[in-house]
Chain A
């Protein structure tokens, strides 16, 4: 069975600080995808990044960066120089590539990030 663990339930930082969100996953599959989604107070889940299990290169997009380490089954997310607009709940998710699964997502419990001005 698949499982995603986000150990941090809530993180509070002051604006301009960096914040790293941890994500650890479990799967028996050798091929799979990992995702991060942002859920602002408005409620809509916003897609941030998709990474497949064959690609362990780290990725940077603006102030966001992701560190995928297959050896430790982790896919951590860092926000650099945080801003108040980054305040949201962030979800890490996993899906496998089996046809039967239909790419349904298994979500972690989410990490609430509060950025104070």
Chain B
């Protein structure tokens, strides 16, 4: 597809269950990011993948959150033992190489429609 694709678009689950959110980035984009958008916290960075490098997990709020990216393309964000405070919209973004340090780098990130997660 032309844009970043996320699934499911909506997910409702009971507290304590595990959930998996999927992101399919734009073809050719080597950088992939997960963000969370919630009423109280705004838009927060969660995790960043760049090619085969170790991911930057500095934004993950707890060890219940994890993510992987297989084959440098599709990524899955997993939340274990969900809590009500995990309710939010989870946004995925991708960009061309995000590892550059020159002024010609820092390519814009293109976002998917997000997954709206509701924990009952």
**Does A62 sit within 8 A of B, measured CB to CB?**
no
When the two chains form their complex, are residues A99 and B99 in contact, meaning their CB atoms are under 8 A apart? yes
**Does B12 sit within 8 A of A, measured CB to CB?**
no
Q: A102-B31, A103-B31 are in contact. Are A44 and B106 (CB under 8 A)?
A: no
Chain A residues with CB below 8 A from B48, complex form: 102, 104
Assembly CA distance A3 to B110 (angstroms): 21
Q: Which residue, of A98, A99, A100, A109, has the highest number of chain B Cβ atoms within 10 A?
A: A99
Assembly CA distance A112 to B95 (angstroms): 26
B97-120 Cβ-contact flags toward A at 8 Å (1 or 0): 011111101111111111000000
Q: How many residues of A contact B (CB 8 A)?
A: 30
Assembly CA distance A14 to B34 (angstroms): 36
Stretch with Cβ within 8 A of B (4 or more), from A47-55, A66-74, A80-88: A47-55
**Does B71 sit within 8 A of A, measured CB to CB?**
no
A83-117 Cβ-contact flags toward B at 8 Å (1 or 0): 00000000101010111111111111110000000
Residue of A nearest to B108 (CB): A47
**Does A8 sit within 8 A of B, measured CB to CB?**
no
Chain B residues with CB below 8 A from A103, complex form: 31, 95, 98-100, 105-107, 109
Q: Identify whether the interface residues of A are mostly helix, strand, loop, or mixed.
A: loop
Q: How many residues of B contact A (CB 8 A)?
A: 31
Chain B residues with CB below 8 A from A99, complex form: 99, 101
| Shortest Cβ gap from B75 to chain A (Å) | 14
A43's partner among B99, B109, B114 (CB-CB below 8 A) is: B114
**Does B8 sit within 8 A of A, measured CB to CB?**
no
Chain A residues with CB below 8 A from B28, complex form: none
Chain B residues with CB below 8 A from A107, complex form: 42-44
Q: A52-B106, A95-B106 are in contact. Are A44 and B113 (CB under 8 A)?
A: yes
Chain A residues with CB below 8 A from B110, complex form: 47
Interface residues of B (CB under 8 A from A): 31, 33, 35, 42-45, 48, 50, 56, 59, 89, 91, 93, 95, 98-103, 105-114
What 10 new A-B contacts, CB under 8 Å, besides A31-B103, A54-B103, A103-B99? A44-B113, A45-B91, A45-B111, A52-B103, A97-B105, A102-B48, A102-B50, A102-B98, A105-B35, A110-B42
